[in-house]
């Protein structure tokens, strides 16, 4: 079973986000990047499948942010191959451009399954998984929380989430692209000593591709929601807040 995992780096929200003076992009200097959370789940799901049915896990990432370290982490977790793709551009790529690059690299295979996070926090123009599936004419299922490979290795059974906590069990013919919401197990921990060991010995393949035809989207402007503009803030400590909220509920006849 050949599994490809597509990953990307996204700004780390813990560090805060600022919009640059142009108003059309984030202020890169203040950004710190980490692996997109659902891509981490996609990697975990790929490793779980490999542990169950055997095979190879190959992880791809566009050269941006801490992509190299994320790839080394993937190798430390058990991935077989890590590929850093350099498109010669500084600014982050829109999903369409990223998908084009991945599709070009993957066209012709061989792979049985492509896993990627179903969504990333910076998704503006669709999701990489669905776009790659569209370009390669593969089936695509999103919001997946469980994957079982069929006995013959030619199909997969995936559990797809629906609102209201419903889910559907779907059978999909391979090769296919799955957009992972959460792996069957939380992403595994790699002891730092192992990570440091792998850093010294592992190889991350580097591939250069020409910049894609479709460039960054025409974002007219970025803006932050007005802070707390929605809410009337109740001042004071917890005791005061409790009193005020109780009065409010009483006024609105919500107390019985």
Partner 1 sequence: MGTLQVPPIPEKPGVLFPEIASAEDKFRACVQCGVCSGSCPMGKAMDFPPRKAVKMLLEGRFDEVVKSNTPWLCVSCHTCAARCPSQLQISDGLFPALRAAVMASGKPMDPDLQKALQNTYLYGNPMGEPPRKRADWTKTAGVPVPIMAQLRRPVDVLWIVECYPSYQPRGQAISRHLARILHALKIDFAILGPEERCLGDCEWLAGEHGLFETLIERNIETLRKYRFREIITTDPHAYRPLRNVYPSMGGSFVVKPVVQFLAERFGQVKNLLKSKLDAIVTYHDSCCLGRKTGHYEEPRMLLRALPGVKLVEMIQNRESSLCCGGGGSTVYLDRFIQERVKDRLADQRVEQAAATKAEILAVACPFEPSRFEDAVKITGHEGKLLVRDIIEMLAASMELA
Partner 2 sequence: MGNDILVFAEHFRGTLNDITYELLGKARELARSLGSRLVVGLLGHEVGGFVEKLGAADQICLVDRPELKEFASDTTKAILEAILEDVQPRLVMLGSTSIGLELLSLISARKGFPCFDNCTRLESRDGRLVATCQIYGGKIFAEVALPDATTLVAVVPGSFPKEPGEVAARPELRSIALPPVLPEARVTFRKLLEPPPGDVDITKAPILVAVGRGIQNADNLPLAEELAEALSGVVCASRPVIDQGWLPLTRQVGKSGMTVKPKLFLAFGISGAPEHLEGMKQSELIVAVNTDPNAPIFSIAHYGAVVDALELLPLLTEEVSNQATKKASS
Interface residues with partner 1 (CB under 8 A)? 12, 14-16, 34, 185-186, 188-189, 191-196
Torsion sign over Cα 133, 138, 144, 148? negative
**Which C-beta is closer to partner 1: that of 107 or that of 239?**
239
Both tokens of 181, joined, read 């919401």
Least separation in angstroms between CB 177 and partner 2? 9
Both tokens of 252, joined, read 């609105």
Stretch that binds partner 2, among 43-51, 190-198, 202-210, 243-251 (CB under 8 A): 243-251
Contact 68/204 with Cβ under 8 angstroms? yes
Instruction: For residue 4, state whether it binds partner 2 (rule: CB under 8 A).
Output: no
99-128: which residues touch partner 2 (CB under 8 A)?
99, 118-119, 121-127
Contact partner at residue 207 from partner 1, partner 2, none, CB < 5 to 8 Å by partner kind: none
Contact partner at residue 165 from partner 2, partner 1, none, CB < 5 to 8 Å by partner kind: partner 2
Phi first, then psi: give them for residue 2, nearest 5 degrees.
-95, 115
Q: How far apart are CA 138 and CA 132, in angstroms?
A: 8
Least separation in angstroms between CB 76 and partner 2? 25
Least separation in angstroms between CB 169 and partner 2? 4
Contact 66/9 with Cβ under 8 angstroms? yes
Angle at the Cα of 121 from the Cα atoms of 77 and 39, rounded to 5 degrees = 20
Contact partner at residue 196 from partner 2, partner 1, none, CB < 5 to 8 Å by partner kind: partner 1
Contact 171/156 with Cβ under 8 angstroms? yes
């Amino acid at each position: 079973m050949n599994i490809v995992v597509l990953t990307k780096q996204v700004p780390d929200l813990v560090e805060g986000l600022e919009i640059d003076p142009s108003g059309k992009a984030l202020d890169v200097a203040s950004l710190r990047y980490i692996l997109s959370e659902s891509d981490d789940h996609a990697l975990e799901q790929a490793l779980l499948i490999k542990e169950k049915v055997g095979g190879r896990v190959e992880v791809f990432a566009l050269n941006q942010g801490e992509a190299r370290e994320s790839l080394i982490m993937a190798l430390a977790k058990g991935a077989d191959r890590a590929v850093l793709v350099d498109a010669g551009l500084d600014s982050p790529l829109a999903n369409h451009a990223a998908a084009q690059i991945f599709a070009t690299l993957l066209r012709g295979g061989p792979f049985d399954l492509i896993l990627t996070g179903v969504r990333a926090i910076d998704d503006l123009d669709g999701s990489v998984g669905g776009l790659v599936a569209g370009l390669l004419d593969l089936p695509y299922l999103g919001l997946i929380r469980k994957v079982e490979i069929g006995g013959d290795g030619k199909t997969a059974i995936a559990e797809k989430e629906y609102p209201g906590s419903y889910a559907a069990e779907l059978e999909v013919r391979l090769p296919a692209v799955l957009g992972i919401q959460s792996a069957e197990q939380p992403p595994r921990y790699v002891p730092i000593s192992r990570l440091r060991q792998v850093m010294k010995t592992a190889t991350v393949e580097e591939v250069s591709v020409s910049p894609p035809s479709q460039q960054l989207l025409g974002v007219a402007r970025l803006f932050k929601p007005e802070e707390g503009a929605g809410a009337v803030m109740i001042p004071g400590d917890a005791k005061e807040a409790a009193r005020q909220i109780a009065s409010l509920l009483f006024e609105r006849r919500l107390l019985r």
